[in-house]
Structure 1
Amino acid sequence: MLRYTLMRLGIFAGCFVVVWGLVYAGAVPRGLGASNGVWVLLLALVLSAPISFVVLRKERDRASIQIVQKVDRVKADLEANRSQEDAADDTARAQGQTS
């Protein structure tokens, strides 16, 4: 998961540098007034999203498999705890009835 996040951040950083260079060179219009930084940031986000979607497909699939495995493990642990509590409760009730 961390690897995917770092790769996505790297793609965004690359897009940010390219967009900043294009704005600085005048190939892309500057933002209005002092909004130039926000304009570059938003344009870089818009460009990096589809690039990340296509380029990082395999890495995203690996990360999602890890997340699903972790969720399944947590669900199994919760179910095991729940069944242990049920067994303990049943034992306590059975001992209370015989006393």
Structure 2
Amino acid sequence: MLRYTLMRLGIFVGCLVVVWGLVHFGVFPRGLGESNGMWIILLALVVSAPISFVALRKERDRASEQIVHKMDRVKAGFEASRSQEDGADDAARAQGHTS
């Protein structure tokens, strides 16, 4: 997951540098007044999102599989704990009814 996040951040930073250069040289328009920095960041986000979606497909699938695997282990742990609690509860009830 960390690898995917770092790769995504790298694509964003690359797009940020390219967009800044294009705005600086007048290929893209500047933002209004003091909003130029925000304009560059937003434009870089819009450009980097589809690039990340396509370029990082395999890495995103790998990260998703890791998350699913971890969630399955957590669910199995909860189920095991619940089964132990149910068994202890059933044993306590059986002892209470036989006294």
TM-score grouping bracket, smaller chain normalisation: over 0.9
Mapping 1:39-50, distance limit 5 Å: 39-50=39-50
Pair 1:18 & 2:18 matched: yes
Residues 43-75 of structure 1, C-alpha deviations (whole Å, 9 max, x = no match): 000000000011001000100000000111111
Q: Give, in angstroms, the shift of residue 13 of structure 1.
A: 0.3
Q: SS at 1:34's partner residue?
A: helix
The 2-side partners of 1:29 and 1:16 are apart by: 15
Letter of the aligned partner of 1:53 in structure 2? Answer: F
Displaced runs of 4 or more, over 3 A: none
Letter of the aligned partner of 1:72 in structure 2? Answer: D
Structure 1 runs not aligned, ≥5 long? none
The 1-side partners of 2:41 and 2:88 are apart by: 57
TM-score by length of 1: 0.98
Letter of the aligned partner of 1:96 in structure 2? Answer: G
Q: Give, in angstroms, the shift of residue 98 of structure 1.
A: 1.7
Structure 2 runs not aligned, ≥5 long? none
Partner of 1:77: 77
The 2-side partners of 1:47 and 1:5 are apart by: 17
The alignment yields a C-alpha RMSD, in angstroms, of 0.6
Mapping 1:19-98, distance limit 5 Å: 19-98=19-98
Letter of the aligned partner of 1:51 in structure 2? Answer: I
Q: Give, in angstroms, the shift of residue 97 of structure 1.
A: 1.3
The 2-side partners of 1:76 and 1:85 are apart by: 14
